[in-house]
Amino acid sequence: MSALLPGATTPGGSRQATLGVLGGGQLGRMFVHAAQALGYRCVVLDPDAISPAGAVAEQHVRADYLDSFGLAQLARDCDAITTEFENVPAVALETLAGMRTVAPAAAAVAVCQDRAVEKAHFEAAGAQSGVYPAPHAVITNDIELAAVDPALLPGILKTSRMGYDGKGQVRVNTQAELAAAWDGLKRVPCVLEQLLPLKRELSVLLARGADGQIVSYPVQQNLHRGGILAVTQVPAPDVPVAVQQQAVAAARQVAEALAYVGVLCIEFFWLADGRLVVNEMAPRPHNSGHWTMNGCNASQFELQVRALAGLPLPELRQHSPSVMLNLLGDLWFSADGGPTPPPWDRVLALPGTHLHLYGKAEARHGRKMGHLNITADTAEAARDVARQAAAILGLPVDF
């Protein structure tokens, strides 16, 4: 496709070049900010009257993702359209693609929406990269349940669709627990993954243009708590260079095999025995890439804009070692349960701290409210300040 130039009017000079995004959450909000910085107008489609992205975009189309009138309006008012979350119906992307440039494509997003399909894609890509998913089994009926290899236990039973941040997942140790867990998940299609001894959790964030150009950030080392990302460190302090190179090569192969266009995040497990396995992917910017907003010459959201608009992807350069702390709504509640704003003044008094709040109207336990980036001249200095910030906020300092 030809590039949609920043700040330009459309053919005929009727309006400024405009980018659309399906979804009004925080990822959409940060995409809008990046697009506006490059001179684009933005339109957000989201059913919520009050949404983080809708609050900052030039236009908010309040409609369901399958509403034909809403999709038609989005296509009419935009030159190119993306999504901020993977569970937007793929059919909505297909509909829009008949009228406008859409990236990532519906077919790629559909792969990410179904764990069973995603695992099959990883298996195929692994034939080239040598990095495969964990041993697993797909369960859609009683016959497949009974045929599960006992070697997959203990394992994690995950719903094939809609699970994220630890939702829709149950740890099982025996066949009886597996059967009970599947019943508890309403017997929807699931994937059972063998539980593996992890050394570290990693992610690779990349962008691929329509011309096939790929750029990737340094490997990110992640720490999850309760199934939700809590801390990201870049450079990855504990991961050998050879493992990092293997992860980047595998991620690029996954993107190539999808003919992917846009920002893509692939998560990996580095195992205690030294092996690398691919876990899952997200067809969008990712929490583990938030550090790029302050630690790199171009953020993941700028790359999302560039890939969508057909602009060249820049050579990426991390200029500052970085730590990202995820900020959940729990921080807004005192020990007695009352609402209490976090002590941002004390946090921001620390050197190299960058606070990003998402503009959400209400804090709730487990809800992502923002993130804190810490940059410094050295990885050790960034980690030290991040631990000080975590202690002020009452977060664990186990990183």
Which string of DSSP letters, residue by residue, matches 213-229? -EEEPPPEEEEEETTEE
Is 196 flagged in the annotation as binding? yes
pLDDT tens per residue across span 33-50 = 999 999 999 999 999 999
pLDDT tens per residue across span 329-375 = 999 997 776 678 899 999 999 999 999 999 998 999 999 999 999 99
Average pLDDT of the segment spanning 103-115: 94
Does the pLDDT at position 182 exceed 70? yes
What's the gap between Cα 255 and its chain centre?
15
What domains can you pick out in the chain, each with its CATH number? 18-102 (3.40.50.20), 135-194 (3.30.1490.20), 198-393 (3.30.470.20)
Does the pLDDT at position 15 exceed 90? no
Is 195 flagged in the annotation as binding? yes
Is 359 flagged in the annotation as binding? no
Q: Which residues, at least 6 apart from 329, have a Cβ–Cβ distance to it below 8 Å?
A: 363, 364, 365, 366, 367, 368, 369
Model confidence at 399, pLDDT cuts 50, 70, 90, reads very high
What percentage of the chain has pLDDT greater than the value 70? Answer: 97
* The token pair that represents 379 in the structure block: 């990885």
Is 358 flagged in the annotation as binding? no
pLDDT confidence of residue 12: 62
Is 310 flagged in the annotation as binding? no
How many alpha carbons fall within 13 Å on the CB side of residue 141?
A: 1
Q: Which of the pair, 24 or 167, is modelled with greater confidence?
A: 24
Is 169 flagged in the annotation as binding? yes
d(CA 165, CA 278): 17
Does the pLDDT at position 6 exceed 80? yes
Is 163 flagged in the annotation as binding? yes
Is 279 flagged in the annotation as binding? yes
Model confidence at 16, pLDDT cuts 50, 70, 90, reads confident
pLDDT confidence of residue 1: 62
pLDDT tens per residue across span 272-286 = 999 999 999 999 999
What value does the mean pLDDT of the chain take? 94
pLDDT tens per residue across span 123-152 = 999 999 999 999 999 999 999 999 999 999
Is 225 flagged in the annotation as binding? no
pLDDT confidence of residue 227: 87
Is 115 flagged in the annotation as binding? yes
pLDDT confidence of residue 111: 94
pLDDT confidence of residue 29: 98
Please, what is the Cα angle at 219 between 113 and 114, to 5 degrees? Answer: 10
Average pLDDT of the segment spanning 195-215: 97
Is 23 flagged in the annotation as binding? no
pTM across the whole model: 0.94
Average pLDDT of the segment spanning 309-315: 97
Model confidence at 166, pLDDT cuts 50, 70, 90, reads low
d(CA 213, CA 215): 7
Nearest by Cα to 139 from 185, 191, 174: 191
Is 302 flagged in the annotation as binding? no
d(CA 222, CA 236): 8
Does the pLDDT at position 14 exceed 80? no
d(CA 318, CA 291): 10
Does the pLDDT at position 81 exceed 80? yes
Is 208 flagged in the annotation as binding? no
Does the pLDDT at position 164 exceed 80? no
What percentage of the chain has pLDDT greater than the value 90? Answer: 89
H-assigned helices in the chain = 26-37, 68-77, 90-97, 106-113, 115-129, 142-146, 175-184, 241-258, 292-295, 300-309, 344-348, 379-393
Does the pLDDT at position 238 exceed 70? yes
pLDDT confidence of residue 11: 63
Tokens 């810490």 map to which residue? 374
Is 167 flagged in the annotation as binding? yes
Is 76 flagged in the annotation as binding? no
pLDDT confidence of residue 8: 77
